[in-house]
Amino acid sequence: MTVSLQDRLTHSARGAQVGVGEAPVAVSLRRRWLDFGQSLDWRRRLWLGACGWLLFLAGWYLAAQAGLAPARLFPGPGQVLTALHTLFAEQQFLGDVLASVRRIAVSFGLAVALALPLGLLMGAFARIDALLNPLLGAFRYLPAPAFIPLLLMWLGTGDSHKIALLLIGVVFFLAIMLADDTRQVPASFIETAKTLGGGRRSVLWTVVFRHSLPGYLDTCRQMLAVSWTYLVIAEIVAATDGIGAMMMRAKRFVHVDDIMAGIVTIGLLGLAFDALFRLLYRWWFPYLRPENHR
Amino acid sequence: MKTNSGLNVHKAGKIFRAGSRQPRVALEGVSLHLPPGQVGVLLGPSGCGKSTLLRMVAGLEAPTSGALSLNGRAITGPGRDRGMVFQSYTSFPWLTVRQNVAYGLTINGDASSLKEGVVDHFIRAVRLQDVANAYPHELSGGMRQRVAIARTLANHPELLLMDEPFGALDPETRWQMQELLLGIVRKEHTTVLLVSHDIEEALYLGDVVFFLSSHPGRLREVIRPGFKHEVPAGDREALLDHPEYRRLDLHIRRLMSEEGRRAA
C-alpha cells in the first residue's frame, strides 16, 4: 500500500513539474485495475459480471435504435423481453423448455453412464487405453450432425433420434476427457495405497476414482454446454416441441423476437446449469476451496 | 528361515530396459541384511540405485536377478507388511488427517484396530491431535509428512520404508522430524529402511548405514555407528561432538567424493 502511494506521489510530482504524460490518478488506477495474479472477492466479481451484461445490453439497445435494420428483423432487448413474457404466459413455452431440459438430462445422463466407466478404465489401465483410445479418438472426429439422415431413418423423428444425436455428439469426447482426468492421479498416491495393502479394486475406487471426481465434475460441466448445441440442432431438424422447435415455428412467421427469446432462454438455462455444477463442486469438494489452502 | 529374520536382500540386481536404448544397470549383486527392530539407511550419491532398491523391497519394482525376503517370506509385490513414506506429500487431499491415518486400516477391513484407538494413538504420537479434523491442504509440509508416517505406522507394517522422507523440508523442520521419528521408532520397535543422501541424517537415524556406489549401484560398505550407545539417545549435539562421529563423517565424505570423481 505504502509503495503504491509513494509511486503515485512521485508520479504526480513529475507530472506537475514536466506537465506532460498521463494523468497520475489514471496511472495508479490502471495499475490497480490490471495487475497480474489478482484475486477478487465474490462481490467484485458479481459487480463486474453485471457490468459486462449491462454493456452488452446497452450495445444491443443502441444498435436496434440506430435503425440499421428493420425492427422486425432486429428487435431490441425490450421487444425480446416482451416476446419472452408472451411466450411463457400465452404460448405454453414452459412445456417446450421442459421438453428440451428433459432431453438434455436423459441423453447427458446416458452419455456420462457410458463414458465414465470407459474413462476410468482407460485412464487407470494403459492396456485398456491402448485398445480403446484410437477407436474413440477417431469417432470423436466424425461430426455428429452427419449422422442425422441415418438416425432419422433408423429411429424416426421421435425423442430417440434426438437422444441418439446428443449421445453421439458428446460421448466420445466425454470418455476421452474423463480418461485424461483419471490420468492426473499422482503415481505416488497409487503406490502409497499399494504399500498400505490396497488391492486393485480398492486402489481404483479409493484413490484413482476419488482423486478424479472433481475433474470429472468439471469436465461434465463443460461437455453439458456442448450438449445444448446438439440439442438445438436435433430440435431444429425435426421436432414438435422443445426450444429449437419453437424457434423453427417462429421462423416461419418471421417472429425474430421469438427466435431471439429462444436464444436468450438457452443462454439463461446454460448459466443456471453452470451455476448448479459450481455449487455442487463447492459442496462436494470442500478441500479444494481456495480459502482452505495454505 | 526363521519367521523373525528381518529383511534379507540376496544378490539383487536391476536392469532397466527402456525401448531401444542401451539397457541401464541400476543395481548389481546387492546383498544385505537388516535385523528386526533396527533402522537401516541406504546412503550414496545420486544414481547409486538406492531408491530403486527401496522400491524393490516395497515390491513396486521387480528385481531382474536375485531375491528379497522379509521375515522369511519372499517379496513378490507390494503389501501391507511394507508401508512406504514418499518424499512427495502423499496424504490424500480429500481425507482429513484422521481419515488419512485410518486409511490403511479401513481398506484392509481392520475393524478391531480402528476400534482400539490405534488411529488416535498414532495421531498423538506424531503430535497432530489438534488438527485431526483438518484437511492436508491446511497443513505445512512437515505436518503432512507426519500424517504419512502416522498413516503407515497405524497399519502395523513389519517394515517401514522411507524414500528421502524429509528431503523437501527446511533444515529446522527436518531435525524435528528426525527426532520425532527416532522417538516413535524406538518406542514401537519398528524396523525401518530409509533412503538418504544426507550424512548427518544417516548417522543420526541409522543403526546400520549401507553405503552404495554408483554406475552400477553396488553395496560398497556397511557402516555401523556403534559409538551411538555412548551418547544419550537422540542427543544430536552430543552425537555430532563425538570423535567417532567426526571420523565416520569424514570417512563417508571421502567415499562420496571418490564416487563423484568416478562419475565425472
Q: Please indicate whether, in this complex, the C-beta atoms of A197 and B161 are within 8 angstroms of each other.
A: no
Q: pLDDT band for position A275 (50/70/90)?
A: very high
Instruction: Identify the contact set of chain A against chain B, taking CB-CB distances under 8 A.
Output: 186, 188-189, 191-198, 202, 206-207, 210-211, 213, 285-288, 292-294
Quote the CA–CA distance of A134 and A181 in Å, as a whole number: 18
Name the least confident of A32-36, B128-132, B177-181, B240-244.
A32-36
Question: Minimal Cα–Cα distance from A124 to chain B, Å?
Answer: 17
Quote the CA–CA distance of A268 and A262 in Å, as a whole number: 10
**In this predicted structure, what is the pLDDT of residue B248?**
94
Q: Distance from CA of residue A127 to its chain's centroid?
A: 32
Give the mean model confidence (pLDDT) for residues B249-254.
94
Alpha helices by DSSP H, B36-170: 50-58, 97-107, 111-115, 118-125, 141-154
The candidate with the shortest Cα–Cα distance to B220, out of B5, B32, B6, is B32
Quote the CA–CA distance of B177 and B142 in Å, as a whole number: 7
Give the mean model confidence (pLDDT) for residues A103-113.
95
Q: What is the complex's ipTM, to 2 decimals?
A: 0.91
Q: pLDDT band for position B46 (50/70/90)?
A: confident
The candidate with the shortest Cα–Cα distance to B56, out of B24, B21, B31, is B31
- Delineate the domains of chain B, giving CATH numbers in brackets: 30-81+165-264 (3.40.50.300), 92-156 (no CATH)
Nearest-by-Cβ selection for B78 from A195, A207, A285: A195
Question: Minimal Cα–Cα distance from A42 to chain B, Å?
Answer: 22
Report strand pairing: B191-196 vs B159-163: parallel
* CA distance to A34, A187, B181, B188, per residue, from B150 (Å): 46, 20, 10, 12
Nearest-by-Cβ selection for A197 from B140, B148, B155: B155
Quote the CA–CA distance of B47 and A57 in Å, as a whole number: 64
Chain A residues in contact with B152 by the CB 8 A cut-off are: 195-196
Please enumerate in sequence order all residues whose Cβ is within 8 A of that of B178, keeping only pairs 6 or more positions apart, or say none: B166, B201, B204, B205
Q: pLDDT band for position A29 (50/70/90)?
A: low
Mean pLDDT rounded to a whole number for chain B:
91
| Matching residue, cell 405454453 | A92
Q: Please provide the DSSP assignment of A104-122 as one string.
A: HHHHHHHHHHHHHHHHHHH
More confident residue, B141 or A294: B141
More confident residue, B22 or A32: B22
Q: pLDDT band for position A292 (50/70/90)?
A: low
Question: Minimal Cα–Cα distance from B23 to chain A, Å?
Answer: 23
Closest chain A residue to the Cα of B157, Cα to Cα: A196
Quote the CA–CA distance of A64 and A74 in Å, as a whole number: 6
Nearest-by-Cβ selection for B79 from A197, A211, A288: A197
The answer, yes or no, to whether residue A22 has pLDDT greater than 60, is no
Residue B176 at interface with chain A, using a CB cutoff of 8 Å: no
The answer, yes or no, to whether residue B1 has pLDDT greater than 60, is no
Residue B104 at interface with chain A, using a CB cutoff of 8 Å: yes
The answer, yes or no, to whether residue B263 has pLDDT greater than 80, is no
The answer, yes or no, to whether residue B22 has pLDDT greater than 50, is yes
Q: What is the pLDDT of residues A157-194, one digit of tens each?
A: 888 889 999 999 999 999 999 999 999 999 999 999 99
Helix axes of A93-124 and A243-252: crossing angle, nearest 10 degrees:
130
What CATH number belongs to A79-287? 1.10.3720.10
Quote the CA–CA distance of A164 and A147 in Å, as a whole number: 9
Question: Minimal Cα–Cα distance from B243 to chain A, Å?
Answer: 39
